[in-house]
Amino acid sequence: MNFAVVTFPGSNCDNDLYYAVKDALGENCTMVSSNEDSLDKYNVILIPGGFSFGDYLRSGAIANLAPIMKSIKQAANDGKIIVGICNGFQILTESNLLPGSLIKNNNMQFVSAWEKINVQNNNSVFTNQYQKEESINLPVAHGEGHYYCDQKTLKELKANKQIIFTYKDNPNGSVDDIAGITNKQGNILGMMPHPERAVEKILGSKDGLRLFQSILKSHVRS
């Protein structure tokens, strides 16, 4: 498979994603500038964490205006796999590719810690290598990680099994402890925890690697 890591000015987790895919997963991976206008040759598009365009206005708001976003939205419509992590999740909500929004943590402070994450739905492109209700260890690092949506949207997320990951001990105040969701079609994932920082034992956990392995497994099935 061909993976693309889209880099924006201010991205700082792009190299983490690149090496997670290239070295830990063993797949082809290319860094693609946000100034590019085509993602046609890639099967999977990864949007990394960081502070795109300095997180001015709202996190991810200016990134939504970058040239690459037209191609990301087209890839989404074409059913390609898209993963937005941390700031990438914020970009996906700002671009309306995922519902809801990410707002400041309840304690108004930046949170950087390892968290227990519950796998709520293991029947997805992103989680088929996990067990349902399995507890995994992933790090978080964000100041605006509080996932918010209205009750109607929350009801839809639950009905469609779009809530993929939840926090065991909610570090930011997210509605219903939500840590990661998909779109209705199931090809787009947004999550605040960092699976790319948990792909080798030396990093503290290998639990994140199975997310990328799940994507590979889904591609083989298709």
Q: Known catalytic residues?
A: 86, 194, 196
Backbone φ and ψ of 59, nearest 5°: -60, 125
Number of H helices, E strands in the chain: 5, 11
Which residue type is seen at 64? N
Query: How many angstroms from the chain centroid is the CA of residue 169?
Result: 19
Q: Write a three-state SS string for 172-202.
A: CCCHHHEEEEECCCCCEEEECCCHHHCCEHH
- DSSP-derived letter for residue 80 is -
Contact of 167 with 99, CB cutoff 8 Å? no
